[in-house]
Amino acid sequence: MSTGFSIDNPFLESLGVSLTQWRDGYAELRMPIDASKLNRQGVLQGGAIATLLDAAAGYAGLFAPAGQPARHAFTLSLTTNYLDKGLGAVVTAKGFLEKQGRSIFFSRGEAWVDDTLLIASAQGTFKYSRSN
């Protein structure tokens, strides 16, 4: 699925993550659920979910219109709440920008399996990088 958005993150790319929607204040990332991402119980590993939520919440504060320089940030804090088991084919993380300052922003995320089951939520604090 070509979306026109480059995720520009080798780690996320290695997990098969794609950036499917991205606009000011919102980001949506999708990741296939396969055997390499399962825990011993055969469900999506919590670290994979947290990684996806961290990325979605972070990207929500990083959108730059075409022609503008890319923006970067790093995570200061991420709180994740697991709500249900990750059983399905695809997990989608939705990131929402809540508040933005000059150097720090706050956002939240939701992780959905097969677009029907909310399995986790997160709240994060991120700091913009001054140099790329």
pLDDT score for 50: 98
Average pLDDT over residues 8-35: 96
Pairwise CA distance, residues 54 & 108, whole Å: 9
Residue-averaged pLDDT of the chain: 94
Kindly list the distances between the CA atom of residue 80 and the CA atoms of 18, 30, 47, 52, in Å, as whole numbers in the listed order: 21, 18, 10, 11
Pairwise CA distance, residues 131 & 106, whole Å: 20
Q: What is the pLDDT of residues 72-119, one digit of tens each?
A: 999 999 999 999 998 999 999 999 999 999 999 999 999 999 999 999
Q: For the whole model, what pTM was predicted?
A: 0.93
- What domains does the chain contain, in order, with CATH numbers? 10-128 (3.10.129.10)
- The owner of tokens 């947290």 is 50
Pairwise CA distance, residues 95 & 69, whole Å: 21
What does the DSSP 8-state code read for residue 38? Answer: B
Please check whether residue 119 is in contact with residue 84, taking contact to mean a CB–CB distance below 8 angstroms.
yes
